[in-house]
Amino acid sequence: MLHGPDPTDILAEEAEAAAQLRHRLAVNQWPLSIDHLPADAALVGGAVRDGLLDRLADRPDLDLVVAEDAIELCRRLARRHGGSCVVLDEQRSIARLVLRGWTVDLARRCGTDLASDLRRRDYTINAIALPLEAGASLLDPTGGLADLRQRQLVAVSEANLLDDPLRLLRGVRLAAELEFRLSAATRRWLVAHHHRLASVACERVLTELEKLAAAPAGHRGLITAMELQLLQPWQADAAGAARLAGLDEEGAVARGLNREERGWALPLARLAALLDGGAVARLHGSRRLQQRCERLNRWRVALEARSAGKGCGSLKTLQEPERLRLHQELEETLPALLLLLPEATARQAMERWHDPHDPLFHPRPPIDGRQLQELLAIPAGPRLGELLAFLTRERAYQRLPEASQQSTSGLDPQSAAAAEPIVQLARKWWQQAEAGEEGRRAADRRHD
């Protein structure tokens, strides 16, 4: 005959876990004393989960539930401690206390007691509470402690997921952040209700996607979300999963990206592998993110077209004007594209990108437009722009005299001497352009 866990053992485990969690939370370093909180206050959510996993940030966001009006409590605490109170949801009595760099969210308890409040939450590992009264044990009505030990993500109930369909995607994100597996029942529920995600405000979906893309296992998480059909309304094409597969930390290191670069290039590359600019627009993403995803995808397609269907090839397959345009459009974000290139090719390109003076990877005209106007006595206008583009290309491909390769600014004797060959080249180009224009006008007059 099978028996469930001994209740005495469960209580002992919860008491031991509570003591360990209190130590990790360093409650005495919080921005307010727990003596100033109601006796029934309890810590819930991410701080409890992350504390039990021993992955707390230096200043974790604190989520507290209380039986009384949380907004009024927040205002009292703000007055007492000098912080600010931000009302997040007046109807449900949720407010945020911002105090000395800390964020403390306060919410009125849902249900008749703390256990019923926890049973309304999304996933069992988020449904664990630490009552703040001295000596209290953890409250774990849904088995979250066991799921933490087994490193699995389990939904509290199917109905709870549907209370806020964003919880469907949040589960995939949590699993990717914590590198947990989704339980079989949870996966079934996510697939069964994948269409509900389309009813969620677009901004909330995009925020969750950005967090997922930034997770350590974000590439696998996004593939999972695609497999569960959660992203059908937005994914650009079915090939996104194949592109995502190689966008991991190890591959980024092998391609020469440092920690800081990996921190932004991997999430961006993952989003672009999934979303095109149009999808970002439908999700109400910023114009900047739309442009970045659109450009990365356009250049990926251009490189794939030149590699006979073998993925992204070398940047050297592009013709001069096209290659220069790539570096102009992707000067800031090139590492995100290089993540899709072969390791050796990408590493060589990263070495050049790291050099701020590389004339191709950081294209600039060798002399600015105002200087050209002064030195050549020419007007501003489209032709000046064409001249600057010509000089930028000549510098990018190192066809200027060596002393003139670096950009010059100002008109001190040294820079003026270096600029002289450029000025002569620019004057010749301008004269030829004017002669060509005059020839066209003469031809038009003869035609008339």
Domain range summary for the chain, segments of one domain joined by +: 1-150, 302-353, 369-438
Displacement of CA 125 from its chain's centroid (Å): 24
Question: Taking a C-beta distance cutoff of 8 angstroms, is the pair 221, 173 a contact?
Answer: yes
171, two tokens: 């589960």
DSSP label of 155? B
Collect all residues with Cβ–Cβ distance below 8 Å to 46 and sequence separation of at least 6.
60, 61, 63, 126
CATH superfamily, with its number, for domain 1-150 = Beta Polymerase, domain 2 (3.30.460.10)
For residue 93, the model assigns a pLDDT of 96
Q: What whole-number distance in Å separates Cα of residue 269 and Cα of residue 252?
A: 11
Mean pLDDT over residues 86-100, rounded? 96
Q: What whole-number distance in Å separates Cα of residue 128 and Cα of residue 48?
A: 7
- pLDDT of 140 higher than 70: yes
CA distances, 399 to each of 5, 142, 291, 391 (Å): 78, 70, 31, 9
Q: What whole-number distance in Å separates Cα of residue 424 and Cα of residue 143?
A: 78
DSSP label of 181? E
Collect all residues with Cβ–Cβ distance below 8 Å to 78 and sequence separation of at least 6.
84, 85, 97, 99
Q: What whole-number distance in Å separates Cα of residue 172 and Cα of residue 224?
A: 7
Which of the four pLDDT bands, split at 50, 70 and 90, describes residue 12?
Answer: low
For residue 10, the model assigns a pLDDT of 55
The closest alpha carbon to 10, from 135, 117, 118, 143, belongs to 143
The closest alpha carbon to 349, from 246, 255, 249, belongs to 255
For residue 3, the model assigns a pLDDT of 40
pTM metric for this prediction:
0.87
Q: What whole-number distance in Å separates Cα of residue 124 and Cα of residue 207?
A: 22
Average per-residue pLDDT in the chain? Answer: 90
Which of the four pLDDT bands, split at 50, 70 and 90, describes residue 156?
Answer: very high
Give the H/E segment covering residue 224: helix 218-227
Q: Are strands 152-153 and 181-182 parallel, antiparallel or unpaired?
A: parallel
Mean pLDDT over residues 370-377, rounded? 90
DSSP label of 37? S
Q: Is 238 exposed, middle or buried (0-12, 13-18, 19+ CB in 10 A)?
A: exposed
CA distances, 271 to each of 268, 289, 431 (Å): 5, 10, 48
Lowest mean per-residue pLDDT among 73-82, 290-299, 369-378: 369-378
Q: Are strands 42-44 and 84-89 parallel, antiparallel or unpaired?
A: unpaired
Which of the four pLDDT bands, split at 50, 70 and 90, describes residue 46?
Answer: very high
Hunting for tokens 């993540």 — which residue is that?
A: 339
Q: Residues 231-241: pLDDT tens digits?
A: 999 987 778 88
Please tell me which residue, 413 or 111, carries the higher pLDDT value.
Answer: 111
Question: Taking a C-beta distance cutoff of 8 angstroms, is the pair 123, 174 a contact?
Answer: yes
For residue 439, the model assigns a pLDDT of 66
Question: Taking a C-beta distance cutoff of 8 angstroms, is the pair 353, 335 a contact?
Answer: yes
Q: Helix and strand tally (H, E) in the chain?
A: 21, 8
Displacement of CA 343 from its chain's centroid (Å): 23
420, two tokens: 């002289």
Which of the four pLDDT bands, split at 50, 70 and 90, describes residue 420?
Answer: confident
Mean pLDDT over residues 206-218, rounded? 96
Mean pLDDT over residues 323-329, rounded? 97
- pLDDT of 2 higher than 50: no
Mean pLDDT over residues 349-369, rounded? 95
Lowest mean per-residue pLDDT among 135-149, 166-180, 428-442: 428-442
Question: Taking a C-beta distance cutoff of 8 angstroms, is the pair 418, 406 a contact?
Answer: yes
Q: What whole-number distance in Å separates Cα of residue 213 and Cα of residue 337?
A: 15
Mean pLDDT over residues 407-431, rounded? 73
Cα-Cα-Cα-Cα dihedral sign, residues 196, 202, 204, 205 = positive
The CB density around residue 317, as the number of other CB atoms within 10 Å, is 14
Which of the four pLDDT bands, split at 50, 70 and 90, describes residue 302?
Answer: very high
- Look at residue 85 and give its three-state secondary structure: strand
Displacement of CA 292 from its chain's centroid (Å): 12
Angle ∠(359,363,365) on CA atoms, nearest 5: 95
Q: What whole-number distance in Å separates Cα of residue 106 and Cα of residue 153?
A: 25
Q: For the CA atoms of the chain, what is the radius of gyration?
A: 30
